[in-house]
Structure 1
Amino acid sequence: MPQTSARLSVTEKIGYSLGDLAANLIFQTLMTFLAFFYTDVYQIPPGAAASIIFAGGLIGACFNPVMGMIADRTHTRFGKFRPWVLWTAVPFGVIALLAFSTPDFGPDGKLVYAFVTYVLLVLVYSANNLPYSALSGVLTGNMAERNSLSSYRFVAVMVAQFIIQALLLPLVLLMGDGDKAVGFEKTMTLFAWVGIVFFLITFITTKERVKSCEKEGSIRQDVADLLHNKPWAIMLSVTILVFITLALKGGTYIYYFENYLDQQQIALFLQDIGFNHFIAGLNQSLNALGLTNFSWPEDAATSGFSLFNAGGIICMIIGIGFSKPLADRFGKRDVFAVALLVSTLFVLAFYVFPADAIGLVFLAQILHGFFYGITIPLLWAMIADVADFSEWKNHRRATAIIFSAMIFGLKLGLSIGGALVAAILASLGYDASLPEQSITTAEGIKTAVSLYASLPFLLAVGVICLFEINKQKELQIERELQSRRIAAGVSETE
């Protein structure tokens, strides 16, 4: 089939996207709750938690280029990248469960257990998610189809994010009957089984089609190509900055709701918007079915935090729907820069909100979610374009190593952002055993959620403006690669 006419079926797009849903049940938990799990559930001191998150994440990040080289040189009848989704499905689920378990060790034993399980988790995540991400670059060479695939994929991401950020904490309390340690273990067991099934569906429903018309190069050539690839360097920097913010603000929100916002005002807000009435009806229905252990928690901070995240995620999904048409018209780069800038302004707005301004907090989150949602598919679609740029410029394709570098950036950003959460808490004197934190600690948490979290996003906006693959360049690269492949007798396979 000619390169420009290759279209993916809805079944394949959905099947591929389920892999991201599976991975993000774990990834979103790491990004949002890892620091909280270590400090408040497993009772690890914040400073030690910061060291574990940073060191473990750095090890995982450094493994990515190695995994990229391995994946690019994998040759099976199923392709280069699909087999890794299959091979890592079960280990991913098992290690995720271990990482969120709480064996009764002493203080030093807890640190060793947390570090080892976290390192194993980020390593298996790389072995799974790097080939999975690279797979998007070889399912089709049609850039418009990649935009569409990215939209499907990141709707699945948003579904996973909704489950984690809006429902995980209530699920933990429900499944553990108030015991967060038991609740995390039972919830992660459920996620592990779901993830394994979804990864198998991804493997079964997808097919690698894009074949390079050039010979496979050496590892030295791959590295040299990367170092001379300016769009790659720019996207690496943007990825690091974006995930620093995501990890920092995502990991701090739970502390923001529990320690900064006025609990009485949260409860009044939930009452005024009808949330409490809705939950009362839900609990009554569950009780009528005999599910008395599955009543929604009454804690205002938990309910407020869940609804806050749910509102943002729903608006992110709406934003994703605008991503493809805007990108098709104006180009990925320009749409990404403008939408990220606007979304950042609503993160920064948290800095001026007093503790009782609950309505403004929710409004800012909703608006941030919409504009950030527009950027979500574009980041990974632009990375796939970088792989095409590399082939166009160097006459060699090395998809996985390019994606590995970006996932290195993701892991590094996640490690820095996650470690910052715990480090900031330690510097503020946060103590999980106290019934109430000091005013200084509460104000510091607000600053972390707003000012500190907005700075990497703002830097990313500046950096992406240097990205040279605009709308015109996208079309030029697509046309010329198509011509080369047709001339070489290489096309996408059915």
Structure 2
Amino acid sequence: MNTSAAEQIKVVPSEKISMKEKIGYATGDLACNFIYKTISSYLLFFYTDVFGISATVAGVMFLIVRMLDAVLDPLIGTIVDRTNTKYGRFRPYLLYGAVPFAVLAILCFTTPEFSDVGKIVYAYITYILLSIIYSTINVPYSALTAAITQDNKEVVSLTSIRMLFSNGGGMIVSFCVPFLASIFTKTTGNTATGWQITMTIMGIAGAILLILSFLNTKERIQISEEESKVGFKDIFTQLRVNRPLVIVCLFFLFNFGINSIINAVGIYYVTYNVARPDLVKWYGLMGTLPALILMPLIPVLYKVLGKKKLLFIALSCKAIGLLALFIIPSSMVPLVFAGRLIASIGTITSGAFTWALVPETIDYGEYKTGKRASGVVYALVNFFFKFGMALGGIVPGLILSNFGYVANHVQTETALHGILITLTVIPAIFVIIELFAIFFYKLDEKEHERVLAELNARR
């Protein structure tokens, strides 16, 4: 095993991270959610009901773009690991990617006066470019966690605050985006313009927050120039020797694919099944509001329950809430919101803690290979994350089309049933698969402590 390179790493594992820096780091995820949460939650609806393309065409486009994006992530990860600037390896991407990210998001929610084919081409170009820019920001941003600290308690704390801001961003998007779109639509008398102005506001706010995240973080885990020479083959090495990483990647595949489906179909469910489009913003808010209570409790829950029990309980809540929505009549709005709340508690908790597992798989990968390939690991995580979102992107469009969904019309009973099972039964099946996957994750607290002790001994 290569230990000479590992010995050159300078580490400050016991250094406490200030609350200012934790918040500064978290503003990066708030920024990404302002933009990408809007994209993942409302772009399908915008394409079908405002932009003017069919659900099938939009669904296929989501699959193609997200799979292309996912394939590019590992390449971006190797580039990030080779980056060496006066600002560090990861932080520069936040600075230089902020403005292009905002501009492309606005273009995605712009409706040009093109032919039907021209609109489809425009949608592909803008969405592909947005996804590439998002990857060049999100891969290094995620990897920045492992460059800030290796202390597991600090990682959980850092990730919890990050997820608090992330879910806070989701809450703002869920409530404010449909509200603003409605206000600006009424003000301008044009639905397309209303959505464009709304995305302009979210994009500018996101760009500013990314720059603030760059300014308020510090990379402490420094590696030598030799150690930064991570190649494309290291992707396959990690998959071969880093079993905890493989399990975490599967969590991301299923968990965020499910979330993508739920987020995309929620607006259809409330608009057509519940027949209360005025409640869309409140339904979205209920999906993120529990984060304000749950995120500060994650470190405590982790300490009391441990990672496996915490994940098992969270995923069980998610499955129960989704199946409750399937059973509850859509006319019983209070019970619908109760089911949504239960599912959200599980979604928020499992999602937050899954991100907290990634830094320890980086430690384990270094232990097995002698290389600290943070960018590669996060690129692999993002590959499975986005591949899941790709499946989550195409599933709603194809199912809705097959069940006879027609935009801006009263839906048939068949179409309403299609919306319901896409929102509930299909995601619940994959949650149950996740519950079984937990038992194959062997990097528990004691094993991780042993790995860190070995790494520190080498250094």
Q: Distance in 1 between matches of 2:362 and 2:33?
A: 23
2:220 partner amino acid? R
Is residue 2:404 matched to residue 1:466?
no
Matching residue within 452, 455, 459 for 1:481: 455
Q: Look up the match of 1:278.
A: none
Greater C-alpha radius of gyration: 1
Q: Partner of 1:395 in structure 2?
A: 370
- Counterparts of 2:172 and 2:228, CA distance in 1: 41
The answer to whether 1:457 aligns with 2:414 is no
Distance 1:179 1:340 in 2: 42
TM-score, with length taken from structure 1: 0.87
Aligned residue among 196, 200, 205 for 1:185: 196
Deviation at 1:179? Answer: 3.2
Q: How many angstroms does 1:2 deviate by?
A: 6.8
Contact 2:245 2:361 in 1 (8 A): yes
Match in the other structure for 2:239: 227
- Once the two structures are superposed, residues 272-303 of structure 1 have per-residue CA deviations (whole angstroms, 9 ceiling, x without a partner) of xxxxxxxxxxxxxxxxxxxxxxxxxxxx422x
Q: Structure 1: how far apart are the matches of 2:443 and 2:194?
A: 46
Q: 2:266 aligns with which of 237, 244, 253?
A: 253
Q: Which residue of 2 aligns with 1:378?
A: 353
Distance 1:370 1:220 in 2: 38
2:89 alignment partner, SS class: coil
State the alpha-carbon separation in 2 of the partners of residues 54 and 224 from structure 1.
Answer: 24
Secondary structure of residue in 1 paired with 2:443: coil
Corresponding letter in the other structure for 1:227: L
Q: Residue in 2 aligned with 1:110?
A: 119
Mean CA deviation greater in 124-133 or 475-484: 475-484
Q: Which residue of 2 aligns with 1:349?
A: 324
TM-score, normalisation: structure 2: 0.94
Letter in 2 for 1:376: G
The answer to whether the 8 A contact 1:315-1:370 is kept is yes
Superposed, 1:201-280 pairs within 5 Å as 201-212=212-223, 215-228=227-240, 229-261=242-274, 263=275
Measure the CA separation in 2 of the matches of 1:428 and 1:179: 30
How far 1:237 sits from its partner (Å)? 1.1
State whether structure 2 residue 379 is matched by structure 1 residue 417. Answer: no
**Gapped runs of 5+ residues in structure 2?**
1-9
Q: Matched residues in 2 for 1:37 and 1:146: separation?
A: 37
2:376 and 2:314 mapped to 1: Cα distance?
A: 28
Q: Any conservation in 2 of the 1:28–1:161 contact (CA below 8 Å)?
A: yes
SS in 1 for 2:289: helix
Name the structure 2 match of 1:447: 421
* SS class of match (1:465): helix
Q: For 2:41, which of 25, 32, 37 is the aligned residue?
A: 32
Distance across 1 between alignment mates of 2:232 and 2:134:
25
Match of 1:5 among 7, 11, 14: 14
Which range is displaced more, 468-477 or 59-68? Answer: 468-477
* Aligned partner of 1:61 among 70, 91, 101: 70
Question: Identity percentage over the alignment?
Answer: 30
**How far apart, in 1, do the equivalents of 2:212 and 2:74 lie?**
27
Structure-2 residue corresponding to 1:319:
294
Q: Judging changes above 3 Å, is the alpha-carbon distance between structure 1 residues 355 and 223 closer, same or farther for their aligned structure 2 residues?
A: closer
Cα distance in 1 for residues equivalent to 2:56 and 2:301? 44
Distance 1:376 1:330 in 2: 16
Structure-2 separation of matches of 1:216 and 1:203: 21
Checking the alignment, whether the CA contact within 8 Å between 1:57 and 1:412 is kept in structure 2 is yes
Distance 2:133 2:14 in 1: 36
In the alignment, is the contact (CA less than 8 A) between 1:4 and 1:482 conserved in 2?
A: no
Residue segments in structure 1 that go unaligned for 5+ positions in a row:
264-299, 486-494
- For 1:33, give the aligned amino acid: Y
In structure 1, the residue matched to 2:5 is: none
Please report how far the alpha carbon of residue 218 of structure 1 lies from its aligned counterpart in structure 2 after TM superposition: 4.4
CA gap 1:458/1:134 in 2 versus in 1, 3 angstroms: same
Separation (CA, whole Å) in 2 of partners of 1:333 and 1:134 = 23
The alignment of Structure 1 onto Structure 2 pairs a total of residues equal to 446
Partner of 2:206: 195
Q: How big is the shift at 1:157? A: 0.7
Relative to 1, partners in 2 of residues 1:58 and 1:2: Cα closer, same or farther, differing over 3 Å? closer
Q: In 2, distance between residues paired with 1:109 and 1:221?
A: 39
Q: Give the match's secondary structure for 1:3.
A: coil
